[in-house]
Chain A
């Protein structure tokens, strides 16, 4: 579904994992608007095709790519294909992840391993593969989507551990890659208007909103705007940053204290 006219190797190529829905889809559309050929990665082909078709309909350039990011061999194959079709990835956005809300008594070994396999190992697999050409070409940007939840919240022990791991990995690699003109940054969203959030009970959402100083949920487009800034040369002296897109919740989120369960 790529536009053959745009497949020369000097073009900007963005790969967005989990790009088939929610925040990832908004990131894909935004980066396409900014002139990237966008590779829309997802687990499901149909979702990736829909987003890529939307971008093409708006005059942009995009193609779908299927891979389970928790499988490093599948990730390597996806990058091989992308490089053959449209050239090396110049901007990687590690957005794919799984949520989850589990009190510690429900955090089984299997649950813990699954969350870390996708939310942390998946970021490693894509980052490691993308950094090869970026390092050789001395150019590139990686934005990893973490979460405000890494600071701590009820029921988030596995998710927070994975998202904290993403921040540690990003900061370490920001140092390691700094002399190679490759930058790595983190966007940490707070409460964002996604289907997952809309499915919450109204009372639960109202309670959550009390912890957001701005008093509303954010939009996927607002997260995408932060990703676009950190991916671009507008932020050429920014690396290892953790930028919270959270309405101020990261500053001090006064909770509506839940009852002990």
Chain B
């Protein structure tokens, strides 16, 4: 099983993320994608694979637009035998900054993952990890109920949890790794 990852470059706030995932993934090779569009051409066939994507990192670094991210997510909808993990901001709960684009990107990711979970559940599964936008280097509040900040290792542990063969009954879930910030929103249970 391979783990396709995108984007190749992450903000410095996520330093060590891919290293931690690689160390915990039990030898599964990480394959960097240059773009989300490239996934279908790089992945030959329908052998069981994983896909670990961080759209907000691409947005933060200016490498992609929200439109390109949603187009890429749409292209995933037909993939078979794929375990998809999307890491995105928790802005879909509503933001108190001007990062509306990031919030809308996160909402699109959650809707795409939940639809893949239902529509493709017989062969594929998909889950979302929602983190504070500060994890991607964005300005704005990251304070959750837990006073400590979310670090890249916390995000990596959550990703490894969804990538693990022990957890194949998890499908369509939204895991908030945000120190409980979601508890103050009605869109969170």
Contacts and interface: CB of A to CB of B under 8 A. Distances in A.
Contacts of B175: 238, 241, 243
Contact of B171 (A171, A221, A242, A248): A248
B1 interface: no
B168 A222 contact: yes
Interface string B125-153: 10000000000000000001111101100
A119 B67 CA distance: 46
A99 interface: no
A254 B157 CA distance: 32
Given A178-B146, A237-B179, A239-B145, A244 B173 contact: yes
Given A234-B157, A252-B114, A241 B176 contact: yes
Interface stretch (B10-18, B55-63, B68-76, B115-123): B115-123
What interface size band does chain A fall in?
Answer: 35 or more
B172 A174 contact: no
B177 A214 contact: no
Contacts of B119: 213
Interface residues of B, number: 38
Contacts of B160: 234
Contact of B148 (A215, A234, A237, A246): A237
A39 B189 CA distance: 30
A175 B173 contact: no
Interface string A158-189: 00000000010001001100110001000000
Nearest to B176: A241
Nearest to A221: B166
A250 interface: yes
A188 B177 CA distance: 18
A240 interface: yes
A247 interface: yes
Contacts of B188: 240, 242
Contact of A214 (B146, B161, B169, B176): B169
B94 interface: no
A11 interface: no
Interface string A113-140: 0000000000000000000000000000
B89 to A, nearest CB: 15
Given A214-B122, A219-B169, A239-B179, A248 B145 contact: no
Contact of A237 (B150, B169, B173): B150
A178 B180 contact: yes
B173 A178 contact: no
Given A178-B146, A240-B183, A248-B117, A218 B169 contact: yes
A116 B167 CA distance: 30
Interface string A200-235: 000000000000111100110110011001000011
Contacts of B168: 214, 222
B125 A214 contact: yes
Given A171-B183, A237-B144, A239-B145, A214 B167 contact: no
A239 B169 contact: no
A31 interface: no
A238 B169 contact: no
Which of B119, B168, B177, B180 has the most C-beta atoms of chain A within 10 angstroms of its own C-beta? B180
Contacts of B172: 213, 244, 248, 250-251
Given A215-B121, A237-B154, A238-B177, 12 more contacts: A178-B144, A178-B145, A179-B146, A221-B166, A222-B168, A225-B166, A234-B160, A239-B146, A244-B172, A247-B169, A248-B118, A254-B118
29 contacts: A167-B189, A171-B189, A174-B145, A175-B180, A178-B144, A190-B169, A213-B118, A213-B171, A213-B172, A219-B169, A221-B166, A222-B168, A222-B169, A229-B161, A235-B158, A235-B161, A235-B177, A236-B154, A237-B146, A237-B177, A239-B146, A239-B179, A240-B183, A241-B176, A243-B173, A244-B173, A248-B172, A252-B114, A252-B118
Interface of A: 167, 171, 174-175, 178-179, 183, 190, 212-215, 218-219, 221-222, 225-226, 229, 234-248, 250-252, 254
10 shortest A-B CB distances, which residue pairs? A213-B121, A178-B145, A248-B171, A251-B172, A218-B169, A248-B172, A239-B180, A240-B183, A234-B157, A222-B169
